[in-house]
Each structure stands twice: as structure tokens, then as C-alpha cells.
Amino acid sequence: MTGKNNEAESKRQRDYIDKVRETVEGKGLKYLVVTFGCQMNERDSEKIAGALREMGYEQAFREEDADIIVYNTCTVRDNADKRLYGRLGVCKAYKTSKKDMLIALCGCMMQEEQVIEKIGRSYPYVDLIFGTHNIYKFPELLYRRLSSGSRIIDIWKETGDIVEDLPTLRKYPFKTGINIMYGCDNFCSYCIVPYVRGRERSRDPKEILREAERAADDGVVEVMLLGQNVNSYGKGLDTKVTFAELLKEVASIDRIRRVRFMTSHPKDLSPELIRVIADNEKIARHIHLPLQSGSDRILKDMNRHYTGEQFTGLALRIRAEIPDVAITSDIIVGFPGETEKDVDDTIAVIEKVRFDGAFTFEYSPRTGTPAASMEQLSKEYVQKNFDRVLGTVQRVSKEQAARFEGRIMEVLTEGEDEKDPSRYTGRLSQNTVVHFTKSGPGPGAMVKVKLDECAGFYYNGTVWVP
């Protein structure tokens, strides 16, 4: 979709927002958006919430109080599927006592045919179903459901469209995500994402910069650039722009104080990107670099396109050029065919790289991926190796966290500490959580904090007064 068509579609959906508002006006209706999964899903949920607010709905905080519940789903792992079905079971009782309540499902799970079949068979009270490719059509789809009174299912197998200029309700007024690309071309053998999110599509850099400028005008001080693999940014653009160049441009916006990004594939993280981060203190000292496995044999079966040695070399080069960087990761234990020797190789990489944190998961087969058809390992065997890897990750991460103790560092204040209202909570550039004395400006402010005590994976500190 060209920029001109993009604008036309945005206007079309805003017209539907007006139509829904006329339909629900004066009824005092409430909405709830429940998000499963990644930062891109969080960003999509902000768009859905923004549309609902403009339609005249007020936010609810409990499912039973909502007149429309939107579940934005994830299908990367089996537990997310189970959580959704559990919530739908609970909602049956709400629908029985509140017949006009609407339930909408969107996101990655909805791109799977077997999921749609199961919902049709077991959850006939779901009112609206749409996927990842047409999320921008939510206002139109909701209007169709309200007008017809019948279930609406609208799933696209693929798209080249990118429609972004629609209302957004940010979770935090002072920080936001910005989608820079959609989809993934890597086809890791365990991963469902390319099948449900589609092939890679990059946004025009001018549109991204305009969105970042508008966010800064609204008081946003931290932005996170989002993509399944941000290192691939630029594919398909008329003018070649690298991710490193885009990152540098976003960081040059005066009112933006900090820029993050997620996620970076090890196979194509460039020396140029490392230099750009090293040369600009506004770019967060945090790189999420998924390892998945330290075994060359397993990495090959995963279709990851690097070896354990190459990953280690890249991570150590990053640490050498950006000394205060925090490197976090994703690790899968129990991939089909994995042996204890393969797990030893993973642990060896963890020890050498010294991750500041790692999301560690047991392998979860995803229907339709090559790995799902491989011979699976026993749960007991996987659990034993998972415990070994998790224990190493926790020990190393705790040791890494302690390296900043006693230093004075800049923290973005995010809000009140939920456990202690006399303190604020915020994050370092490294993404480490800091709880600190409640003095000075509140949420959205950058403050200097003395990191008094490392309490495992977070810090207790005090605001520093020179």
C-alpha cells in the first residue's frame, strides 16, 4: 500500500470510529484489552485501546465490568494458548449474565486455522475474530459486528499493507513503542512467527521519524523501535536505509532522551550498529540478543545461521566496544534431538558471554513448523536440563547485576513502587529496575540515583543530590 493509500485507509477507519461512537453514545460502555506476548503485541493493543477510547468507550479494569473485551493473543508458546482458552471459559459466565457483552480475539493465534476451528466449535459466544495483518481494520470490523449482530471473522493470510496513522492510547505517557517493520524472513525451524506475522515489510523512515517527533511533542522521552529482527530493517524500501542509520536519526530528536530497540538477530548485527550505539549515550546500553542454543548442531537444526563461537565472539566484541552494555537473551532447552552435551555447550556460552538476563524456556512444539514434526524429548529429560540452564542463567545474571553497585546512574522514573508507596520505580539504560527514594520529579523524569544495594536482579537506591 502506497503512502497515499495508507492515508486514505486511515481516514476510512477514522470514519468507522465516528460511526461506532454514534452507535454507542450515551450508553456508558466500557472496554478491556488483555495482551499476551511480545512488545509488538503490546503496541498493537495500544492502538486497539486508542480506537475504543475514541469510539466513546471508557476503560474497565476487570473482565466482568467490561462491555467489550479484546484478547490480543500470542502463539509463540503453548502456555499462551492455554491462558487464552482459560480466560474464554471464564467469560462464558459473564456473557450469560451480560448478554450484550462482546468478546473479540485478535493477534497471532488467530492466524492458525486449527485455532479458528476450535473457537468455532468450543466457543460460539466469541463475537469478533481478526488477525495480525488487518488489525488497523478493527473500527470497521467492530462496526460491522454492532450493525449485523452476527459473528465477524476476518483473517488475512498475508498483506503488504502498513497502516499506522490511527489513534493510540499509550500505557505510559512518557514512553512508547514505534513499529519500524513487520514480519520475519528467518524461518527458524521452531518458530511460528513468519507464518502468523508474514514476510518482512519495512516502514518508510520518514514516517517513523514523524511518529517519533509527534511522540516527543506529546511528552514522550523514551521510544522503543520494534521489529521481529530490527537488523533486517530497510528491505523493500526505495531508498536503502540501514537500521543503524535509522537508530541514529531517531536518537537525534532533541526531546527524546532514550532510544531502545527489540529484537536483534545475531546473524546480521552489524559493526556499524555497534559503533552507533557506542557513540551515542541516548541509545540504551541494552541489547537483546537471542542465543537459543550454544550447540552448533542444534543451532543448525534450528536454522539460526551462526555457531556458538560466532555468537560468543559477537557478544564479547559488543562488550569491548560498549563496556556498560547489558546483554540479555532467549534460550530454548529441549529442542528435538538435544543431548546433555548440547546443553553443556549452551551453558559454556552463558558463562563466557555472561548474560545480564535471559528468558529461558522449555521447547514448545508449534504446529506447522519443521521442528514440530521431529521426534520430541521426554518432559523429564527436558526438565532436568532446563533446571541446569536456568540455574546458570540466574547465578550469572545476579553477578552481572551487582557490577553497578555504588555508582550514580540515570534512571527513567516509571511510577510508584507497588510494594512501597514511599518509593519510585524506574529503569536504568541497561533496563535494570531501580527502586529509589521518592523525592524530586515523578513519572517520566530522568533522575540521577545512587545505586546503594543490589538486591539480586534489581537495585535499591537514593536520589543523588550533588
User: What is the rounded average pLDDT of the residues 301-313?
Assistant: 98
Look at residue 2 and tell me whether its pLDDT is greater than 50: no
Closest CA to 310 of 278, 271, 349, 275: 349
Query: Contact, 299 vs 307, CB < 8 A?
Result: yes
d(CA 203, CA 23): 34
The chain-wide mean pLDDT, for the chain, equals 93
Whole-number pLDDT of residue 32? 97
State the average pLDDT over residues 163-181. Answer: 87
Q: Report residue 197's pLDDT band, with 50, 70 and 90 as the boundaries.
A: confident
All structural domains of the chain? 3-154 (3.40.50.12160), 172-261 (3.30.750.210), 285-403 (3.30.750.200), 405-463 (2.40.50.140)
Contacts of 340 (CB under 8 A, 6+ apart): 385
Strand partners, 357: 328
Percent of the chain at pLDDT exceeding 70? 98
Q: Report pLDDT digits (tens) over 101-125.
A: 999 999 999 999 899 999 999 999 9
Question: Would the CA dihedral through 141, 142, 143, 149 be positive or negative?
Answer: positive
**Mean pLDDT, to the nearest integer, of 246-258?**
97
**Full-model pTM:** 0.90
Strands 175-179 and 152-154: unpaired
pLDDT higher at 76 or 11: 11
Strands 408-416 and 446-454: antiparallel
What integer is the mean pLDDT of 183-212?
A: 92
Conformational region of residue 142, where left means phi above 0, alpha means psi within -120 to 50, and beta covers everything else? alpha
Task: Name the burial class of residue 310, with classes exposed (0-12), middle (13-18) and buried (19+) by CB atoms within 10 angstroms of its CB.
Answer: middle
As a whole number of angstroms, the distance between CA 228 and CA 186 comes to 10
- The pLDDT tens digits for 331-360 are 999 999 999 999 999 999 999 999 999 999
Beta-carbon neighbour count of residue 261 at 10 Å? 27
What's residue 5's pLDDT? Answer: 60
Grid cell locating 119: 473457537
DSSP state, residue 294: S
Q: How far apart are CA 376 and CA 382, in angstroms?
A: 10
Q: Residue 225 has which C-alpha cell?
A: 523501535
Secondary structure tally for the chain: helices H, strands E: 13, 19
> In which element (H, E) is residue 88 found?
helix 78-97
Q: Where does 354-454 have alpha helices with state H? A: 379-401
Radius of gyration of the chain (CA): 23
